């Protein structure tokens, strides 16, 4: 009896926006939620452990992550103790990515070496942000040396800023890209029945504007308050950065977007 040879399945092309990524390639695979989960897992652990171990004085040397505070506040409102609410945002990231991968029926095998290349890619993708920052007329964020003037040393301020930079990348992208953009697209496409191109463009612009605005106006004890002085240059930069992160999220997925955001903040504070 002669056995028939099985034909190898040719890799298909996956259309992402205007680009065709070969199925199973680095660009296609690292967009998947599983790669994002594995890539961000150490960063989530570092942030959660860092905020737990740093003293209140050291944490005061770094900008507060408003998006993280919102997520933490939600748990406190529904009755979770403050001592446990701090772990909710990190757990939420991991659960969303795991369930997303599970529901999408993506394959489970992972190439560990690609996780390292994701880190390299994130570093390279910060270059357009630094170009935008260079042409901005206003300062984008307080420098680490300035923050260290609140009663701590420069080294305290630097490590506090590294921790918060990691958190900013993960949790701001979670709120403004993964959650907000997703909800806007669902509302416009599934409820209002607007075509996909218009809904995506609207989601990008709205999320970018809200991302920029939340650096100046926030909630404290349930009330709106001014968090920092409004500057036109920094607002325009943050809006442009929000658009850039939204485009990255669309083409490269959540892991690369959050990693690029964190990498930019860390590099900025390192060389400030």
pLDDT of 142 over the 60 cut: no
| pLDDT at position 214 | 82
| pLDDT at position 145 | 33
Quote the CA–CA distance of 269 and 234 in Å, as a whole number: 16
Give, in degrees to the nearest 5, the angle at Cα 229 between 227 and 231.
130
| Rounded average pLDDT over 64-69 | 62
Q: How confident is the model at residue 147 (pLDDT cuts 50, 70, 90)?
A: very low
Give, in degrees to the nearest 5, the angle at Cα 119 between 257 and 104.
50
| Rounded average pLDDT over 245-267 | 95
pLDDT of 266 over the 90 cut: yes
pTM for the complete prediction?
0.83
| pLDDT at position 110 | 94
More confident position, 85 or 212: 212
Quote the CA–CA distance of 22 and 75 in Å, as a whole number: 41
Quote the CA–CA distance of 80 and 193 in Å, as a whole number: 38
Which tokens belong to 148? Answer: 């260290």
Candidates 210, 245, 252; CA nearest to 132 is 245
- Kindly report, residue by residue over 188-215, the tens digit of the pLDDT: 998 898 888 899 999 999 999 999 988 7
More confident position, 45 or 75: 45
Q: How confident is the model at residue 56 (pLDDT cuts 50, 70, 90)?
A: low
pLDDT of 140 over the 70 cut: no
- Kindly report, residue by residue over 20-51, the tens digit of the pLDDT: 778 889 999 999 999 999 999 999 999 888 87
| pLDDT at position 8 | 57
Quote the CA–CA distance of 54 and 182 in Å, as a whole number: 34
CB 189 within 8 A of CB 199: yes
């Amino acid at each position: 009896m002669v056995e028939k040879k099985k034909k190898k399945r040719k890799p298909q092309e996956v259309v992402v926006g205007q680009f065709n990524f070969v199925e199973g390639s680095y660009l296609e695979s690292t967009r998947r939620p599983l790669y994002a989960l594995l890539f961000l897992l150490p960063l989530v652990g570092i942030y959660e452990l860092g905020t737990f171990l740093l003293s209140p004085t050291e944490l005061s040397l770094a900008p507060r992550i408003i998006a993280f505070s919102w997520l933490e506040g939600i748990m406190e409102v529904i009755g979770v103790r403050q001592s446990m609410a701090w772990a909710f945002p990190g757990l939420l990231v991991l659960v969303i990515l795991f369930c997303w991968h599970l529901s999408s029926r993506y394959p489970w095998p992972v190439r560990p070496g690609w996780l390292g290349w994701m880190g390299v890619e994130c570093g390279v993708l910060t270059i357009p942000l630094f170009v935008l920052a260079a042409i901005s007329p206003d300062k984008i964020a307080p420098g680490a040396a300035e923050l260290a003037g609140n009663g701590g040393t420069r080294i305290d301020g630097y490590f506090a800023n590294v921790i918060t930079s990691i958190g900013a990348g993960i949790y701001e992208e979670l709120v403004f890209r993964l959650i907000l953009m997703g909800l806007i697209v669902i509302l416009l496409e599934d409820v209002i029945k607007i075509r996909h191109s218009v809904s995506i463009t609207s989601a990008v612009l709205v999320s970018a504007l809200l991302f920029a605005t939340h650096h100046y106006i926030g909630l404290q004890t349930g009330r709106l308050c001014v968090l920092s002085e409004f500057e036109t240059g920094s607002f325009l930069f943050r809006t442009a950065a929000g658009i850039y992160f939204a485009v990255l999220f669309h083409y490269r997925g959540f892991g690369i977007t959050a990693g690029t955001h964190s990498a930019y903040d860390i590099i900025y504070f390192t060389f400030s």
